Structure 1
């Protein structure tokens, strides 16, 4: 069997294709979100002093910027993912909800790792070698670890919203069933029974 035959055979299965789409989607989206996060986040920085390093009041206020932008991008990315993936891959909604929820955690992790790689180095390793008065930025990472859960929460909400909207559309467009196979209940009532009283 050729080396490429097994993966091709696996991807011929509908469930495997759906899971592959979710995997690629969240890896790509996590990288894209990390690049945007890196570009838009103003990082607070330390100022090297003769004996240590310090951070002014203005810089202290910027410490939450990384968390705020991560939350914003994660919420948008998660919600968009839930809506888009459930709309595109409707073959097995319950499987897709589970896959999107788990996949969104992968997207959150990719965003964290790529953002950390793109951003500045750890200030603890830079400050000892910096000149007095030099400014050293913080790393690009959230201060609160719980912000990663914004991805699965919003992805789940988006997926459930698609399912709910689809079910509402189907229920609203359904017509009442006929009483029998020949016509509506009213038509059947108007037809003579064929029995004449003696």
Structure 2
């Protein structure tokens, strides 16, 4: 399923995907079919939900599902995997595919998350657990540039839009994390916001 974007494809898009303007001519997504297929779906999974989720919601304004991120909602490194891209992770399971076509990428993601984690459960099961978890996002407001490595070491991520380092933690870990921020630098002013799978990866 493809759709004409209403303008010629950029050269690099054609090179990466192999899609041509001729292939897209007169094509559009069937929104009624999509709504029907997703009518009994609890959540959507993308490898990079922070990009794909807002992009999908801009195109399909009726899409109100929560999003799970296969890249961030499972701790691949702690589980012993070194890959950071979807294709690299699949190679660690001995699987290879030709990336950058939506249908193939989606199929590959389904295969990836169906794989067993070291504890025997599927990666998908771990993703759902994390997705459903209620957490707290702690923003390290006013953190000096000099402590960025300390924050990264504690797994804080930089939010370029809001220009702040933040981390999502379980509710019962909030107090300890705030104490850790105070120890890193007294100028840091933590702020808290509740996080669930509807807003965890919002754009």
TM-score with structure 2 setting the length:
0.19
Structure possessing the higher radius of gyration over alpha carbons: 1
Which of the two has greater strand per residue? 2
Which of the two has greater helix per residue? 1
By relative contact order (CA 8 Å, sep 6+), the higher-ranking structure is 1
TM-score with structure 1 setting the length:
0.19
